[in-house]
């Protein structure tokens, strides 16, 4: 049995394990086939670099956790559908957890249907400029009211990433956000709308094309849109992703690095990539009650300011934290202290009433 045959057998016996292959020989076709079949998740050549190997193992654990959350969601979908007596659908979903090809096909169809049936929507959370105290933008956050009730975006975007339907999903978000921005920015030109993309969206050109056509369709200036990319190990700073980021920056949309300070933060992103905004993660806000935590926040904001980057601090809930962040010189705050994400109606009512202060 060759190494790849062995790993294919392991994949059949233990489908939930992650398999890294370390080899001195590179047989591209055999390895590519094994990767296509899901027998091998990562391939590395000998001699290996300890740091890279450790990072791959760490990433595998992270991915495994995400996979487990996905499976749990699928189970919930399955049992939810069962209780609704849609036996055939329930059967389909039970099947899903086991057969990833079938899973991908069905989930893609389910999300596709959700898009067309209007079961997806965006809520918008205000971002408040700390100098003026005025709303400077909103972040669009995806909601899926599935047939078994709401499913959180963290979970279902992971499903979409796995099933390959993230491109379609992001395409829908881009169209929706550009449409809203074209309506809202005419009443309040200082308002910019942010949208979230997956690192996987940067691997192809459809995000760029989609943005270009949505901006043209809605006659919207690119500066009214900001694209948020979560920093993660899936972001390959040397590859095609960098070209896409540069093309987006050239197009004129704002680029924000999301969740900075959580997980695999890399200072290299600040140095190398064309981001204009750093979104500081809520996990750093939660450290503000300690002297060291305050120092980290202060120095991070100072560093970003020196680099002429905007800082948006996320997840601020208390006045005490807001005061500290203001004192450190952050540009913008987004958090429950001002408002939770609002449905479109809520934002429109606020705009119609003159848009003073923060919508609630
Ligand atoms: P994110 O981009 O970091 O979005 C901020 C999340 O923090 C939102 O959760 C928001 O509701 C929550 N949040 C904001 N302020 C506070 C606060 O003061 N306290 C607390 N506890 N939470 C706060 P949400 O809407 O559940 O979104 C979760 C994640 O799902 C997002 O994190 C983003 O990574 C992902 N997501 C949402 N919409 C999209 C989308 O359209 N596309 C992609 N690819 N991912 C999305
Ligand atoms: Ca975000
Ligand atoms: Ca974030």
Of 125, 140, 141, the residue with max ligand 1 atoms within 8 A of its CB, to mutate for a pocket test, comes to 141
Going by their DSSP bridges, the two strands 332-334 and 120-129 should be labelled as antiparallel
Q: How many Å apart are CA 278 and CA 261, to the nearest integer? A: 10
153 lines ligand 1 (CB under 6 A): yes
Query: Closest Cα to atom 37, ligand 1: which residue?
Result: 141
- Dihedral sign of CA atoms 154, 159, 164, 165 in order: negative
pLDDT in tens, 169-181: 999 999 999 999 9
CB-based contact 280:298 (threshold 8 Å): no
- Could you tell me the distance, in angstroms and rounded to a whole number, from the CA of residue 3 to the centre of ligand 2? 41
Select the more confidently predicted residue: 38 or 9.
Answer: 9
Joined together, the tokens standing for residue 43 give 């391939």
Band (pLDDT 50/70/90 cuts) for residue 262 is confident
261 lines ligand 1 (CB under 6 A): no
Q: Is 70 exceeded by the pLDDT of residue 92?
A: no
Band (pLDDT 50/70/90 cuts) for residue 97 is very low
**CA 302 from centre of chain:** 26
Residue 232: the pLDDT is 66
Mean pLDDT of 104-132: 81
Query: Closest Cα to atom 21, ligand 1: which residue?
Result: 315
Residue 11: the pLDDT is 81
Listed residue (326, 329, 328, 353) closest to 338, CA to CA: 326
Q: Identify which ligand lies nearest to the alpha carbon of 141.
A: 1
Band (pLDDT 50/70/90 cuts) for residue 284 is very high
Residue 34: the pLDDT is 76
Q: Is 50 exceeded by the pLDDT of residue 37?
A: yes
Residue 83: the pLDDT is 47
CB-based contact 338:108 (threshold 8 Å): no
Query: Closest Cα to atom 28, ligand 1: which residue?
Result: 154
Listed residue (233, 232, 226, 230) closest to 249, CA to CA: 226
Average pLDDT, the chain: 84
Give, in order, the Cα–Cα distances in Å from 121 to each of 75, 176, 250, 262, 320: 23, 9, 29, 27, 33
Mean pLDDT of 252-275: 85
- Dihedral sign of CA atoms 235, 340, 184, 177 in order: positive
Mean pLDDT of 279-286: 94
Q: How many Å apart are CA 33 and CA 147, to the nearest integer? A: 37
Query: Closest Cα to atom 25, ligand 1: which residue?
Result: 141
- Could you tell me the distance, in angstroms and rounded to a whole number, from the CA of residue 186 to the centre of ligand 2? 24
Residue 88: the pLDDT is 46
- Could you tell me the distance, in angstroms and rounded to a whole number, from the CA of residue 281 to the centre of ligand 2? 10
Mean pLDDT of 281-289: 94
Band (pLDDT 50/70/90 cuts) for residue 79 is low
The reply to whether the predicted model has a pTM over 0.75 is yes
196 lines ligand 1 (CB under 6 A): yes
Q: How many Å apart are CA 316 and CA 282, to the nearest integer? A: 7
pLDDT in tens, 316-341: 999 999 999 999 999 999 999 999 99
341 lines ligand 1 (CB under 6 A): yes
Select the more confidently predicted residue: 120 or 269.
Answer: 120
Select the more confidently predicted residue: 271 or 102.
Answer: 271
198 lines ligand 1 (CB under 6 A): yes
Residue 316: the pLDDT is 97
Residue 187: the pLDDT is 84
Long-range contacts made by residues 198-201, C-beta under 8 angstroms, separation at least 24?
Answer: 198/157, 198/160, 198/161, 198/166, 198/170, 198/230, 198/234, 199/229, 199/230, 199/232, 199/234, 199/235, 199/241, 200/161, 200/166, 200/167, 200/234, 201/166, 201/167, 201/170
317 lines ligand 1 (CB under 6 A): yes
Residue 265: the pLDDT is 60
126 lines ligand 1 (CB under 6 A): no
Helix locations, the chain, DSSP H: 3-13, 28-36, 50-83, 87-96, 100-116, 153-163, 166-187, 206-217, 240-251, 267-272, 282-285, 291-306, 319-328, 344-352
């Amino acid at each position: 049995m060759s190494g790849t045959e062995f790993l294919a057998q392991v994949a059949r016996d233990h489908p939930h394990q992650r398999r890294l292959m370390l080899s001195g020989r590179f047989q591209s076709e055999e390895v590519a086939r094994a990767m296509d079949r899901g027998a091998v998740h990562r391939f590395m050549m000998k001699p290996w670099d300890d740091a890279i190997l450790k990072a791959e193992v760490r990433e595998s654990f992270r991915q495994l956790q995400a996979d487990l959350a996905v499976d749990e969601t699928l189970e919930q979908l399955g049992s939810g559908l069962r209780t609704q007596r849609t036996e055939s659908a329930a059967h389909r979903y039970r099947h899903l957890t086991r057969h990833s090809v079938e899973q991908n096909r069905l989930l893609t169809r389910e999300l596709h249907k959700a898009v067309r049936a209007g079961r997806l929507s965006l809520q918008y959370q205000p971002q408040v400029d700390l100098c003026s105290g005025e709303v400077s933008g909103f972040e669009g956050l995806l909601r899926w009211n599935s047939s078994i009730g709401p499913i959180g975006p963290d979970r279902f975007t992971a499903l979409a990433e796995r099933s390959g339907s993230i491109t379609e999903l992001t395409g829908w978000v881009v169209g929706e956000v550009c449409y809203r921005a074209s309506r809202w920015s005419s009443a309040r030109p200082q308002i910019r709308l942010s949208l979230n993309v997956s690192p996987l969206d940067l691997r192809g050109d459809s995000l760029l094309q989609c943005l270009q056509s949505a901006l043209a369709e809605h006659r919207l200036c690119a500066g009214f849109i900001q694209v948020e990319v979560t920093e993660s190990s899936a972001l390959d700073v040397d590859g095609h992703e960098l070209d896409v980021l540069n093309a987006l920056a050239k197009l004129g949309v704002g680029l924000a690095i999301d969740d900075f300070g959580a997980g695999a933060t890399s200072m290299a992103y600040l140095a190398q990539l064309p981001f204009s905004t750093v979104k500081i993660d809520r996990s750093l806000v939660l450290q503000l009650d300690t002297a060291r935590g305050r120092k980290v926040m202060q120095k991070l904001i100072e560093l970003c300011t020196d680099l002429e980057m905007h800082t948006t601090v996320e997840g601020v809930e208390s006045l005490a934290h807001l005061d500290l962040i203001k004192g450190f010189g952050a540009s913008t705050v987004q958090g429950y202290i001002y408002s939770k994400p609002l449905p479109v109606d809520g934002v429109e009512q606020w705009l119609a009433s003159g848009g003073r202060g923060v919508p609630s």
